[in-house]
Amino acid sequence: MKWILVAAAALYLFGSFKRPVFFAGLLAELVYLALRGVELGRLPLIGPHDTLVFFSTSIALMAVPFFYTPPLRDSDGFSWSVGFLAALFALLALPFPSFNMPLPPILRTLWFEFHVALAFFAYALFGVGAVLGGMFLKDRARAVLDLQYKAALVGYAFFSASMVSGGIWGYYAWGTYWLWTPKELWTSILWLFYTLYLHIRLKGAQWERMVAWAGIIGFAVTLFTYLGVSMLMKSSHSF
Amino acid sequence: MLTKIYDRLASLTLGLWLIGGVCLFLGIGSFSGGGAEGSSINDMPLFAWLRETPVVTSWWLWLTIACLALLALNTVVCSIESLRNKYGRTNFLVLIAPQLMHLGFLLIVLAHLFSAYGGYKQVMQVYEGSAIGFPDGERVQVAAITAAAGPMGMMTDFGAELRYGAPGNEKSQTIRPNEPLFYKGVGIYVKDVGMVPERTALVEIHREPGAGCALAGALLFTVGNVVLLAVRRGK
């Protein structure tokens, strides 16, 4: 079944400057996720393989509304850049085995699925924001920076909702809405960083370059929170 | 002098530096022993941990708390200034949405303060037929401990049936992962069970006095965030 994922990555990587090819890649990835979901009987959100595929699909999915905005309607560069990001994470998923174990009892709750799915939608929007930040630094089109703000704001809303659902789940599962673990510390850092981003924008037009850079650095913090903490630090949140 | 301090506290730049400071110190903490998984910081109320831990280990947390305290003050003053300057001059929803988010943030900080002061956690191993005693003499009876295993031998479900309440008005509830019993202001959670040689359960008792405040803050923050998204839509 992994050939579907390889096909999706190839479509993103070699053809996503053409919108129909990008959509074909997204469709292939959605089919792969749906097949995994049917096989497991739940959302595939456990382990590095499934989370990387979910992340990759989320990036492509969250980029779609931006295709129809006036500044990006004719931009092949944007669709190729988000296609490249989606392909990168789809390819990173390939070497990892896909686990078919039943869910441990502690993860068998809707709060867990909300928590993880919303976090990945947020991560994806932060990725889209980073791409838009790069485009602004290259072309200095103010409209693109406004789109970066929208991506970050919606991503921030998803991420906040993910933290709230994680807190509720934590209270029912562990007796506390907060634990001092590396993942929770970095989750707070990421949330605070995007709070910082949203407030830097209030400083005015002379801070535009800083805002664009903050959107790019924010995605680096996102990747460390998702992948870095799981790989470099011991945490109950490791995939 | 007071006006100068007030103006400083109402500064957006100060807020940005403080958010940056909290990020920096939490980042340092994540690499230090204190914030590591399994650290004793999660086994006792935060203020008790801070009292007992040498500053050489906990300095990052002291600095985080200092930055957060100033940030809370900065948030209050900035909200007051925003309401004062923009009231009647802008759409009410545009004005109120960020303030709801600020209020939500402040409630969440307050919730952490309550939990840091009055939180409680106790881990115990209980046997089938034994009881969990409360300081007022009440007892919660562990009536049964159950477990179910999947085809590969992995535990797929487990729980403990608890009986509580005055004689004649006894109630019973089975606690499972994600399904604790809330009784007399504490939560009783089952973490693990063993079936041989005796039926035992690892149980945790938690008191989280900030939980209600944190939920209220989270709801206010979410409402503010949704309103902000709605008013910024299409702009």
Q: What is the ipTM of this complex?
A: 0.91
From A227's Cα to the closest Cα of chain B, the distance in A is 15
**Same-domain status, A75 and A18:** yes
**Looking at the domain assignment, is residue A237 inside a domain?**
yes
**Same-domain status, A83 and A148:** no
Among A164, A169, A180, the residue with its CB nearest the CB of B222 is A164
Angle at A203 (CA atoms; ends A200, A208), nearest 5 degrees: 70
A93 pLDDT exceeds 90?
yes
The most confident of the ranges A74-78, B21-25, B117-121 is B21-25
**Looking at the domain assignment, is residue A104 inside a domain?**
no
Among A160, A188, A199, the residue with its CB nearest the CB of B26 is A188
**Same-domain status, A158 and A239:** yes
A160 and B158 within 8 Å at the Cβ level: the answer is: no
Domain count of the fold of chain A:
2
A207 pLDDT exceeds 90?
yes
Residues of A with Cβ-Cβ distance to B15 under 8 angstroms = 199
**Looking at the domain assignment, is residue A203 inside a domain?**
yes
Q: Suggest the residue from A180, A191, A200 to mutate for an interface test with chain B (most B CBs closer than 10 A).
A: A180
From B127's Cα to the closest Cα of chain A, the distance in A is 21
**Looking at the domain assignment, is residue A211 inside a domain?**
yes
Type of residue at A194: Y
Which domain does A63 fall in, by range?
Answer: 1-97
Q: What is the pLDDT of residue A145?
A: 95
Could you tell me which of B134, B158, B155, B101 has the C-alpha nearest to residue B207?
A: B134
Residues of A with Cβ-Cβ distance to B233 under 8 angstroms = none
**Looking at the domain assignment, is residue A103 inside a domain?**
no
Q: Of A47, A64, A97, which closes a domain? A: A97
**Structure confidence by residue, pLDDT tens digits, B133-163:** 887 788 899 999 999 887 777 788 999 999 9
Tokens of A224: 């460390």
**Structure confidence by residue, pLDDT tens digits, A12-68:** 999 888 899 999 999 999 999 999 999 988 889 898 999 999 999 999 999 999 999
Q: What is the pLDDT of residue A239?
A: 52
Domain boundaries, chain B: 1-86, 120-207
B21 pLDDT exceeds 90?
yes
Q: What is the pLDDT of residue B34?
A: 59
**Same-domain status, A117 and A234:** yes
**Same-domain status, A205 and A123:** yes
Mean pLDDT value across residues A213-237: 88
Residues of A with Cβ-Cβ distance to B98 under 8 angstroms = none
A–B interface: beta-carbon pairs under 8 A: 135
Q: State how far the Cα of A236 lies from the Cα of A202, in Å rounded to an integer.
A: 37
A175 and B214 within 8 Å at the Cβ level: the answer is: no
B4 pLDDT exceeds 70?
yes
Q: What is the pLDDT of residue A69?
A: 94
Cα atoms in the Cβ-side hemisphere of radius 13 Å centred on B71: 25
**Same-domain status, A66 and A123:** no
Percent of chain B at pLDDT above 90?
A: 67
Mean pLDDT value across residues A113-129: 97
**Same-domain status, A89 and A114:** no
E-strand stretches of chain B: 120-127, 131-133, 139-149, 155-164, 171-175, 181-183, 186-194, 200-207
**Looking at the domain assignment, is residue A78 inside a domain?**
yes
B37 pLDDT exceeds 70?
no
**Structure confidence by residue, pLDDT tens digits, B178-189:** 999 999 889 999
Q: Suggest the residue from A164, A184, A210 to mutate for an interface test with chain B (most B CBs closer than 10 A).
A: A164
**Same-domain status, A14 and A48:** yes
**Same-domain status, A91 and A28:** yes
B118 pLDDT exceeds 70?
yes
**Helix %, strand %, coil % of chain A (to 5):** 80, 0, 20
B179 and A102 within 8 Å at the Cβ level: the answer is: no
**Looking at the domain assignment, is residue A91 inside a domain?**
yes
Q: What is the pLDDT of residue B153?
A: 74
**Same-domain status, A47 and A76:** yes
**Same-domain status, A212 and A128:** yes
Residues of A with Cβ-Cβ distance to B178 under 8 angstroms = 105-106, 108-109, 111, 169, 172-173
**Same-domain status, A138 and A224:** yes
**Looking at the domain assignment, is residue A218 inside a domain?**
yes
